[in-house]
Structure 1
Amino acid sequence: MQENTHIEVVSPVRSFRGSVRLPGDKSISHRYAMLAGLAKGTSKLANFSTGADPHSSLKCMEQLGATVRDEGGAVSVTGVGGTFAQPAGDLDCGNSGSTMRMLAGLVAPHAGTFRFVGDASLTKRPMERIRGPLQQMGARIDLTEGHAPMTVHGGPLQAIRFETPIASAQVKTAVLFAGLQANGLTELKESVRTRDHSEHALRAFGAELERDAEGVRIAGGQTLQAIEATVPGDLSSAAFFLCAALLFPESQLVLDDLGMNPSRSALLDVLVSMGLRLQVLNLEEKHGELIGTVQANGSADLKGAEISGSLSAQLIDELPVLAAVAPYTRTGVTIRDAKELRVKESDRIALVVRNLRNMGAEVEELEDGMIVPGGQTLHGGVIDSGDDHRIAMAFSIAALRASSDTAIHGAEAAAISFPEFFPLLRQLGAQ
């Protein structure tokens, strides 16, 4: 456990109630920032994510020649019109694997040398998965034992046909961003369909691409035009509050302007199967993304879930919080085929298991997941976030129904994706 970190004490509550509009979706904010930086003209992006990670993307775009301004509730990005400048120094991605992997694909077609660095956590995460396809296209990429620091030696690229070896929206995006600027038609095949924010974002900025059940095709040589857009509320951030609502029969939670992208709706399906009563009060489409207002109510009967196969890939970001609330369910939660959790900001499998045990839970650790029996009572405990935002937030939700206070060590990690998390948690939790 890290010393000199912030400790947030979370007390048990009786219910979870209120209405809130969440900060902009982190995944969409990343993509809008990068494409706006490459495009011609000035994009205005309202409700841009307040998380640190998408702001790492904005800072990198500034280093590449774009102009970024905070206009109070919105971000404006004046793009380079198709040609990035050679950065004066390293492109610092902070804690953001999304920035490093996706931006590598965007800069690879540009002449120059681009060195990517990040914090201690990011330098442990695998980058070989993007080097493979980008080098097939003609870029040269230097890694340090498969990790960052990473140097991209850019230049003219050739289109490829590529089948993703793992389910990763970041790898897909790196290839599509490179293919947008390559010579020829880039074809990408996915065995498991991943979230499609990149496809929608590319179309919003004026690119043409084709999508079918097997994959995506994009022609090179296309130019992008600036847009005005409002980023929908972040569904991955909403997952924590929806799980909190699930825990209490008296809960009533309303989330306004929430992103409802069908490629991420598996979370809502799972929560409903576990007992969450969910109503979508209105639904509209903007720039290809569905946005709705959601009302969620708890249930007296918390059912468990079995998550495996392609569902694990679809829920990879939400698995920690589903596991954290699993002891309170009637039949427990089993997670398999989620080995990717071990190479996130932390080894999320090991940390979830350790922290559940710190709160008195029985849990079996698997190489690719875990088995958390239901019908358990948790006590307050000391939680090690491992400097991982999703671990800090997941166990803050588990703490709401514990028998005593819980101390979240490294709570400041929540700011990576959701700086408003703890104030909103206190606002919505009824003592």
Structure 2
Amino acid sequence: MNYVKITPSKLKGEVTIPPSKSLSHRAIIAAGFSKGKSVVENVMFSEDILTTCNAMEALGVTIEKKKEKNNTYTLIIEGNEELKLLNREIDCSESGSSLRFFIPICLIKENDVVFKGRGKLVSRPLDQYYEIFDKQGIEYSNTNGMLPLNVKGKLESGEFTIDGDVSSQFITGLMFTLPLLDGDSKIIINKKLESKGYLDLTMDILEKFSIEVINNDYKEFLIKGNQEYKSRDYRVEGDFSQAAFWLVAGTIGGEIDCLDLNSHSQQGDKEVIDIIQRMNGTLGINSDKIYASTTVTESTIIDASQCPDIIPVLAVLAAVSEGTTEVINAGRLRIKESDRLTAITTELNKLGADLEEKKDGLIIRGKKELTGGEVDSWNDHRIAMALAVASIRCKDEVVIKDSGCVKKSYPTFWQDFKKLGGNIHEWSMG
């Protein structure tokens, strides 16, 4: 078990934002489906991205890794149109994206495959796929609704009705798969669609790799069968879900330049810019970087439906802003790596904040400063990083239990925290 002890201090300097995890997943998969070689630059090997690479290699895709600066890699990916399953078991670790993307992908051809995972992923819902399996006669079994999941069969083209308010990952998994099947398909969205930004990223990657998806106002998606992915070179842009931690950190106590960000990005988590500005934060925005400096911020209403991943750190911002902030439409945060509504409420309140948990949101009454103390990450990378940012406005030291979980998405987070002047002491027990 890893711990960090943080002595509160302001952060100042430049930080190169890690490459987008969402775009990395998608580019690696699209390149793996393509005939010939693709070069995917600026990839960071977080646990989730390694999981997707391993899954592609299990399908016969060759991935050569070349180390570059800033702990990133260039991947030379030799696509495999055959997509033969070389390993019957796909270990998805704790990556929800990998699991939900690869379930349909592994059924492009007749296969008998077992999906494994650990942590909260074992119990995350897969009912959207089970309904498809039942309709198409695909055999499957699980353990009381949890992983491991055994699936045997082949996915057929046709109409697929997906609930839009559960996870866009199911839709993305189908978008990758359906173009390679015989026959045309349609994805019909039932209920209100959340996380549209993630589908925009999927469709953008698909278009770059020569796959067409017709978007009918996000209500249905038309996908022709027998399409071909075509190899290309692609550079992954900086991740706004990770930049959010430093943008909030600069806003509540520091001066931070966030480098390698695309201000015209389609990432849904780019909404952090609008929310900070709405709360009276001052951001300097250039074409490839954003500057955040200390401001007295004010309360607002935050709609989590399109940007659930940045809610933990926005809760930190609200906790030290004037007035009462309300987070709405946040029910899906309960089925992430932790129940993030309960986790962030519990741990920020330990630090002296005033958060009230609702069924699908939060009420956050702002204070000028927090106290400090010992908190738990809940083995959730975004909770750990949000609590680190909260330390900036604490009077006393902050100790974070299970701090190593950041490696899931941002393995160099503590290194960057130190680089910006953070005063931390790390140790391991057991």
Indicate whether the TM-score tops 0.5: yes
Change (3 A) 1:430 1:387: closer
What is the Cα deviation at residue 151 of structure 1? 2.1
Tell me how far apart the structure 2 counterparts of residues 113 and 410 of structure 1 sit (CA, whole Å).
36
Change (3 A) 1:106 1:89: closer
How does 1:277-356 map onto structure 2 within 5 Å? Answer: 277-282=282-287, 292-299=288-295, 301-307=296-302, 311-356=303-348
| Counterpart pick for 1:370 among 354, 357, 362 | 362
Greater shift after overlay, 159-168 or 273-282?
Answer: 159-168
Alpha-carbon displacement from aligned partner over 1:111-140 (angstroms, at most 9, x marks no partner): 111211011321021111333245545644
Contact preservation (8 Å) 1:6, 1:411? yes
Contact preservation (8 Å) 1:380, 1:402? yes
What is the Cα deviation at residue 156 of structure 1? 4.8
What is the Cα deviation at residue 167 of structure 1? 4.9
- Determine the structure 1 residue equivalent to 2:235: 230
Contact preservation (8 Å) 1:53, 1:99? yes
How does 1:48-87 map onto structure 2 within 5 Å? Answer: 48-72=43-67, 73-81=73-81, 83-87=82-86
Contact preservation (8 Å) 1:138, 1:155? no
Change (3 A) 1:429 1:133: farther
- Determine the structure 2 residue equivalent to 1:395: 387
Aligned residue pairs, count: 411
- Determine the structure 1 residue equivalent to 2:418: 426
- Determine the structure 2 residue equivalent to 1:218: 223
What is the Cα deviation at residue 276 of structure 1? 2.2
Tell me how far apart the structure 2 counterparts of residues 61 and 387 of structure 1 sit (CA, whole Å).
26
Q: Secondary structure at the match of 1:251?
A: strand
Greater shift after overlay, 97-106 or 362-371?
Answer: 362-371
2:4 maps to amino acid: E
Contact preservation (8 Å) 1:304, 1:329? yes
Contact preservation (8 Å) 2:159, 2:188? no
Tell me how far apart the structure 2 counterparts of residues 46 and 19 of structure 1 sit (CA, whole Å).
21
| Counterpart pick for 1:197 among 201, 216, 220 | 201
- Unaligned stretches of 5+ in structure 1? 283-291
Greater shift after overlay, 17-26 or 159-168?
Answer: 159-168
Contact preservation (8 Å) 1:252, 1:298? no
How does 1:9-408 map onto structure 2 within 5 Å? Answer: 9-14=5-10, 16-72=11-67, 73-81=73-81, 83-133=82-132, 135-136=134-135, 139-190=138-189, 191-192=192-193, 194-195=196-197, 196-214=200-218, 215-248=220-253, 251-258=255-262, 260-261=265-266, 263-282=268-287, 292-299=288-295, 301-307=296-302, 311-408=303-400
Alpha-carbon displacement from aligned partner over 1:404-428 (angstroms, at most 9, x marks no partner): 1101111100010001111111212
Change (3 A) 1:235 1:417: same
Change (3 A) 1:113 1:325: same
Alpha-carbon displacement from aligned partner over 1:57-81 (angstroms, at most 9, x marks no partner): 0011111111111112311221112
What is the Cα deviation at residue 163 of structure 1? 4.3
Contact preservation (8 Å) 1:157, 1:181? no
Contact preservation (8 Å) 1:304, 1:333? yes
Tell me how far apart the structure 2 counterparts of residues 152 and 272 of structure 1 sit (CA, whole Å).
47
Contact preservation (8 Å) 1:108, 1:139? no
Change (3 A) 1:131 1:77: farther
- Unaligned stretches of 5+ in structure 2? 68-72, 424-430
Greater shift after overlay, 223-232 or 150-159?
Answer: 150-159
1:293 maps to amino acid: K
Contact preservation (8 Å) 1:138, 1:158? no
2:205 maps to amino acid: A
Alpha-carbon displacement from aligned partner over 1:315-343 (angstroms, at most 9, x marks no partner): 10011111123221001321122111111
Alpha-carbon displacement from aligned partner over 1:256-302 (angstroms, at most 9, x marks no partner): 244722544322211111122223312xxxxxxxxx32223331x21
Aligned residues: percent identity? 27
TM-score of the superposition, structure 2-length normalised? 0.90
- Determine the structure 1 residue equivalent to 2:2: 6
1:304 maps to amino acid: S
Q: Secondary structure at the match of 1:265?
A: helix
1:295 maps to amino acid: Y
Tell me how far apart the structure 1 counterparts of residues 15 and 66 of structure 2 sit (CA, whole Å).
22
Tell me how far apart the structure 1 counterparts of residues 227 and 136 of structure 2 sit (CA, whole Å).
17
Q: CA RMSD in A?
A: 2.0
Change (3 A) 1:216 1:268: farther
Contact preservation (8 Å) 1:105, 1:173? no
TM-score of the superposition, structure 1-length normalised? 0.90
Tell me how far apart the structure 2 counterparts of residues 351 and 45 of structure 1 sit (CA, whole Å).
35
Greater shift after overlay, 409-418 or 341-350?
Answer: 341-350
- Determine the structure 1 residue equivalent to 2:70: none
Q: Secondary structure at the match of 2:308?
A: coil
Change (3 A) 1:317 1:227: same
Tell me how far apart the structure 2 counterparts of residues 90 and 252 of structure 1 sit (CA, whole Å).
44
Q: Secondary structure at the match of 1:313?
A: coil
- Determine the structure 2 residue equivalent to 1:287: none
Tell me how far apart the structure 2 counterparts of residues 403 and 54 of structure 1 sit (CA, whole Å).
37
